[in-house]
Chains A and B, each alone.
Chain A
């Protein structure tokens, strides 16, 4: 039995919840001697994620369970620790315990056709695998399931209060004012639950976020100049720091480290105008081990960028933290009419000079897949073929490698024939 199997078995056992913090401590120790990472900054990211998780489980600061678009700047600015529910769902797949946690979700009558990322996280909550937060704070940005999943999670996490940030569909002064008021109110509520609302500290978190953002922008510029410099598999993990580490020193440090390392690597290369086929990845990648990117690479195509890593928000104003965080929440590409997302995809397609796009359609994600034919039509109008792969980001039972391989190879062949 490997160490991974041992860990998995232990987590699923009755002592799993108590073992988790110890496991994280051991893993942090082990990481010091782990030389298997492609990039040193990657290791830094994993260490930062583990430290943050360990603080959520063991303190001393109070933890807040957050959703993907809850502004982490606010949580860090209050001296609290964010712990992402969606990240927990993804982690169940990475640890290969999603079969167990999804079964627990089914036992609880949670809707089997809904997003498995949230369902699996809720199975984890039922199993006692999530930390006990002082509060839960989510946004309504992504989908109807998120606020519902947070209400359900609270029932298994000691009944901590749930704060739902009602994000307006589009911007404008009234919308910003409405959401900024909610953010102010959330800050006050969290202060009563152990946070420290200090304007200077909040402004500092905003500055940290801005600095991290500036490095992410530079990383993306490097990736435009050097397609393939950072693989999609390595870049996919950015979703964690952009949702949970912005506003923290760790977040800024790791983006700086990534940028400096990539810059050094880029200096060893010449800007790449080779004829390799360039693919834009839309939506998510599975969290469990898979070969989707390998199949593309083997067929002669490279994923040059991922939609999820687009920097969609403007720098924040430390003097107006609530209003600028409200703008950031509202302006995400996953909020508002689909035309916003399409405009961003078109811009990325042009900037990265892509030959085609692949959309991994996560089962149960009404948000990203509900109107996908409109996205396909827009790309078609621009002469960009789109391959839609139906799948599930968490439930590995839905993964059919042979079928995916056939479709990806066929897609690349078609791209090649178009280029000729």
Chain B
């Protein structure tokens, strides 16, 4: 049982402004090195360097009712489904969860998780909303807080060398995923649309070294697409209207939306998603003489921003560039329902993209995909305009 129950409140607050909530003393710690995370602002490198396996959490509808009983029903469906998975143990044994302080849903999830999910730690990592030097310094301090916590929890020091090794490993994964994304932009990725995201999802859930080796092998020789078509249906829309997906999160629960896009004739040429290219596009600058935490802070705050960061214009500029590079005629703006940050940005993005002759369609996701029929009709009408 986590000690973040109200009666246990007040234990722990580091000088860096981060929340850490230890399981209460006397509770045996699970013999697993798996640590859950949810937001792309979570530095996986720290978990790797601590000898833990970071697992991006997906969701489970089997426990929807249990999740609704302890978490608002008017909050991010992805996070609710992830909580459901944790309550039902569908996500497997976890030592704990690192929650980035990135949105209202995550903040409240940390509160609920600490109260209702037994025997796991909850670490809330503060993440600034700007990328200036003061923010980088502050975030580097917050990362130091997480490092200390993981050291205490895991009972082993996290050296700078271990951090640089983890950074190199993750950079390698990023480079391979970027190569895959380029393959998709060029139209050479002729697998079903969801296959791309299944690979990206594997990159955040499987042991990293093995995954990195596998992906590098698959990409060698420029034969990725043909090798993977064996036994699977090809992407039927590879020559259809090219679209870019922009928005927040597509988890495996949302992949029916990708099937729908493909069935409607759209080719997803690129994306601007927390679970897509925005997650892996920028590397951490490697330089063993420097401070690895500062390098991490600079990369995570400086990469293409999510909507929760202060500057929407920067993300819009980046999206326009992506559309140009991918030769896309339109953008499908996908957002989890109740995600205020992304939904507030939509009218601004719509206007900015329209000024460049790009058409935009909003698709709200509720994870249960109960309204896919309506979405199909709207999507078909949208694609006819491209």
Contacts from A to B (Cβ < 8 Å):
108-111, 113-115, 140, 143-145, 147-149, 151-152, 155, 164, 166, 168-175, 178, 181-182, 330, 336-340, 342-343, 346, 363-364, 366-367, 369-374, 377-378, 381
Having A175-B138, A374-B6, one finds 12 other A-B pairs with CB under 8 Å, namely A111-B340, A113-B343, A149-B344, A166-B130, A168-B138, A169-B126, A171-B13, A172-B13, A340-B9, A342-B9, A370-B71, A370-B109
Segment touching A, from B25-33, B100-108, B219-227: B100-108
Q: How distant is B12 from chain A, measured CB to nearest CB, in Å?
A: 10
Q: Is the CB of B13 within 8 A of A370?
A: no
A379-B345 Cα distance, complex, nearest whole Å: 37
A413-B108 Cα distance, complex, nearest whole Å: 32
Q: Is the CB of A147 within 8 A of B134?
A: no
Number of A-B pairs whose CB atoms are under 8 Å?
Answer: 170
Interface centre among A144, A366, A372 (most CB of B within 10 A): A144
A364 to B, closest residue via Cβ: B74
Q: What chain A residues lie within 8 Å of B105 (beta carbons)?
A: 366, 370
Contact A166:B4 (CB < 8 A) given known A172-B17, A366-B338: no
A145-B307 Cα distance, complex, nearest whole Å: 11
B348 CB–A CB distance under 8 Å: yes
**Across the A-B interface, the 7 shortest Cβ-Cβ residue pairs:** A370-B108, A339-B9, A148-B344, A175-B17, A378-B6, A111-B343, A366-B104
B312 to A, closest residue via Cβ: A151
A107 to B, closest residue via Cβ: B347
A171-B16 Cα distance, complex, nearest whole Å: 8
Contact A181:B134 (CB < 8 A) given known A147-B310, A374-B111: yes
Q: Is the CB of B138 within 8 A of A339?
A: no
Q: What chain B residues lie within 8 Å of A340 (beta carbons)?
A: 9
Contact A371:B108 (CB < 8 A) given known A169-B17, A172-B16, A182-B134: yes
Q: Is the CB of B70 within 8 A of A145?
A: no
B39 CB–A CB distance under 8 Å: no
Q: What chain B residues lie within 8 Å of A174 (beta carbons)?
A: 15-17, 138, 141
A113-B346 Cα distance, complex, nearest whole Å: 14
Contact A143:B340 (CB < 8 A) given known A169-B18, A370-B104: yes
**Other-chain residue from B111, B126, B340 in contact with A114 (beta carbon distance below 8 A):** B340
A185 to B, closest residue via Cβ: B134
Contacts from B to A (Cβ < 8 Å):
4, 6-7, 9-10, 13-19, 69-72, 74-75, 101, 103-105, 107-112, 115-116, 124, 126, 128-130, 134-135, 137-138, 141, 307-308, 310, 312, 337-338, 340-341, 343-348, 350, 362
**Other-chain residue from A170, A171, A364, A374 in contact with B70 (beta carbon distance below 8 A):** A374
22 pairs, CB–CB < 8 Å, chain A vs chain B: A111-B343, A147-B129, A152-B347, A170-B18, A172-B16, A173-B15, A174-B138, A175-B16, A178-B135, A338-B6, A338-B108, A340-B9, A346-B6, A366-B108, A366-B340, A367-B108, A369-B72, A371-B108, A371-B112, A373-B71, A373-B112, A374-B115
Q: How distant is B324 from chain A, measured CB to nearest CB, in Å?
A: 24
Q: Is the CB of B75 within 8 A of A366?
A: yes
Q: Is the CB of A143 within 8 A of B347?
A: no
Q: How distant is A381 from chain B, measured CB to nearest CB, in Å?
A: 6
A373 to B, closest residue via Cβ: B70
**Other-chain residue from A369, A370, A377 in contact with B6 (beta carbon distance below 8 A):** A377
Q: Is the CB of B10 within 8 A of A343?
A: yes
Q: How distant is B54 from chain A, measured CB to nearest CB, in Å?
A: 21
B134 to A, closest residue via Cβ: A181
Q: What chain B residues lie within 8 Å of A171 (beta carbons)?
A: 13, 17
A292-B29 Cα distance, complex, nearest whole Å: 48
Q: Is the CB of A148 within 8 A of B345?
A: yes
A154-B105 Cα distance, complex, nearest whole Å: 26
Q: How distant is A164 from chain B, measured CB to nearest CB, in Å?
A: 5
A111-B342 Cα distance, complex, nearest whole Å: 9
**Other-chain residue from B74, B109, B134, B362 in contact with A178 (beta carbon distance below 8 A):** B134
Q: Is the CB of B7 within 8 A of A378?
A: yes
A364-B74 Cα distance, complex, nearest whole Å: 7
A338-B21 Cα distance, complex, nearest whole Å: 12
Q: How distant is B116 from chain A, measured CB to nearest CB, in Å?
A: 8
Q: Is the CB of A166 within 8 A of B74?
A: no
Q: How distant is B104 from chain A, measured CB to nearest CB, in Å?
A: 4
A173-B15 Cα distance, complex, nearest whole Å: 6
Q: How distant is B288 from chain A, measured CB to nearest CB, in Å?
A: 26
**Other-chain residue from B17, B75, B341, B362 in contact with A170 (beta carbon distance below 8 A):** B17
Q: What chain B residues lie within 8 Å of A115 (beta carbons)?
A: 340
Q: How distant is B317 from chain A, measured CB to nearest CB, in Å?
A: 15
Q: Is the CB of A113 within 8 A of B310?
A: no
Q: How distant is A273 from chain B, measured CB to nearest CB, in Å?
A: 29
Q: How distant is B363 from chain A, measured CB to nearest CB, in Å?
A: 14
A109-B360 Cα distance, complex, nearest whole Å: 13
